[in-house]
Structure 1
Amino acid sequence: MEIRQLQHFVSVAEEQHFTRAAARLMVSQSGLSASIRALERELQASLFVRTTRTVTLTEAGRALLVEAERILAQERAAREAVAAVQGVLRGTLTLGAEQCVAGVHVAGLLAAFRRLHPQVEIRLRQWGSAALAEQVAAGRLDLAFAYRTDGHPEQLRSVALTSEPMIVLCHPDHALARAGAAVTPRDLGGEAFVDFHPDWGPRRVTDAAFAALGIRRTVPLEVNDVHSLLDLVGEGLGVAVVPRHFEHKRTSLVALPLEDTGGSVYETAALLPSPQATSPAAKALMALLAAEPGR
Structure 2
Amino acid sequence: MDLRQLEHFVAAAEEQHFTRAARRMNIVQSGLSASIRGLEEGLSTKLFFRNTRQVELTAAGQVLYEKAKVILAAAQDAREAVAAINGLQRGVLAIGTVQSLSAFIDLPELLGRFHAQHPSIEIKLCQSGMGTLMEKLQDGRVDLAFMPLVEPPKGITTELITCEALVIACPPSHPLAERRDVSLHELAREPFVDFQVDWGTRRLIDRTFAEAGVLRQTAFEVSDLQVMLELVSRGLGVALLPEPIAIASAAEASGISIGYAELKEPEICWELVVAFAGNLHIRAPKNPAAQAFLDLMSEARNAAETTV
Answer whether TM exceeds 0.5 for this pair: yes
- Which residue of the other structure, out of 140, 149, 152, is the alignment partner of 1:150? 152
Show structure 1 runs of 4+ deviating over 3 A: 78-81, 179-182
Q: Could you say which residue in structure 2 is the equivalent of 1:221? A: 220
Whole-angstrom distance in 1 between the partners of 2:250 and 2:193: 15
Whole-angstrom distance in 2 between the partners of 1:274 and 1:135: 14
- Which residue of the other structure, out of 248, 258, 278, is the alignment partner of 2:286? 278
| Greater mean deviation of Cα atoms: 111-120 or 98-107 | 98-107
Write the letter of the residue equivalent to 1:128: G
Q: Could you say which residue in structure 2 is the equivalent of 1:83? A: 84
- 1:202–1:243: 8 Å Cα contact kept in structure 2? no
Matched, 1:114 2:118: no
Structural mapping, 1:154-173, within 5 Å: 155-173=155-173
Matched, 1:205 2:204: yes
The CA deviation at 1:79 is 7.7
Structural mapping, 1:122-201, within 5 Å: 122-148=123-149, 149-152=151-154, 155-177=155-177, 180-201=179-200
Write the letter of the residue equivalent to 1:116: Q
Write the letter of the residue equivalent to 1:150: P
Whole-angstrom distance in 2 between the partners of 1:88 and 1:199: 34
The change in CA–CA distance for 1:198 and 1:214 in structure 2 (over 3 A counts) is same
Whole-angstrom distance in 2 between the partners of 1:182 and 1:113: 44
- 1:170–1:239: 8 Å Cα contact kept in structure 2? yes
| TM-score, with length taken from structure 1 | 0.67
Whole-angstrom distance in 1 between the partners of 2:180 and 2:122: 49
Aligned to 1:123, the other structure's residue is in SS state strand
- 1:247–1:255: 8 Å Cα contact kept in structure 2? no
Whole-angstrom distance in 1 between the partners of 2:108 and 2:276: 19
| Greater mean deviation of Cα atoms: 247-256 or 165-174 | 247-256
Give the count of matched residue pairs: 214
- 2:172–2:260: 8 Å Cα contact kept in structure 1? no
The CA deviation at 1:206 is 1.0
Aligned to 1:267, the other structure's residue is in SS state strand
- 2:92–2:121: 8 Å Cα contact kept in structure 1? yes
**Cα-to-partner distance string for 1:226-256 (whole Å, 9 max, x where unaligned):** 1111111111111001112123221521111
Whole-angstrom distance in 2 between the partners of 1:88 and 1:169: 44
Whole-angstrom distance in 1 between the partners of 2:107 and 2:212: 35
Question: Which of these two proteins has the greater Rg computed from alpha carbons?
Answer: 2
Whole-angstrom distance in 2 between the partners of 1:269 and 1:127: 15
- Which residue of the other structure, out of 246, 264, 268, is the alignment partner of 2:272? 268
**Cα-to-partner distance string for 1:131-152 (whole Å, 9 max, x where unaligned):** 2122101111111011134221
Structural mapping, 1:240-279, within 5 Å: 240-248=239-247, 249-250=249-250, 252-260=257-265, 262-275=266-279, 278-279=286-287
The CA deviation at 1:274 is 1.3
Whole-angstrom distance in 1 between the partners of 2:82 and 2:287: 7
Write the letter of the residue equivalent to 2:184: P
The change in CA–CA distance for 1:211 and 1:272 in structure 2 (over 3 A counts) is same
Structural mapping, 1:61-100, within 5 Å: 81-85=82-86, 87-100=87-100
Write the letter of the residue equivalent to 1:96: G
Aligned to 1:159, the other structure's residue is in SS state strand
Whole-angstrom distance in 1 between the partners of 2:270 and 2:80: 37
The CA deviation at 1:192 is 0.4
| TM-score, with length taken from structure 2 | 0.64
**Cα-to-partner distance string for 1:191-214 (whole Å, 9 max, x where unaligned):** 100010111121111111111111
Q: Which runs of 5+ in 1 are unaligned?
A: 1-77
The change in CA–CA distance for 1:189 and 1:250 in structure 2 (over 3 A counts) is same
**Cα-to-partner distance string for 1:105-154 (whole Å, 9 max, x where unaligned):** 222211111111111111111111122122101111111011134221xx
Aligned to 1:209, the other structure's residue is in SS state helix
Aligned to 2:158, the other structure's residue is in SS state strand
The CA deviation at 1:88 is 4.3
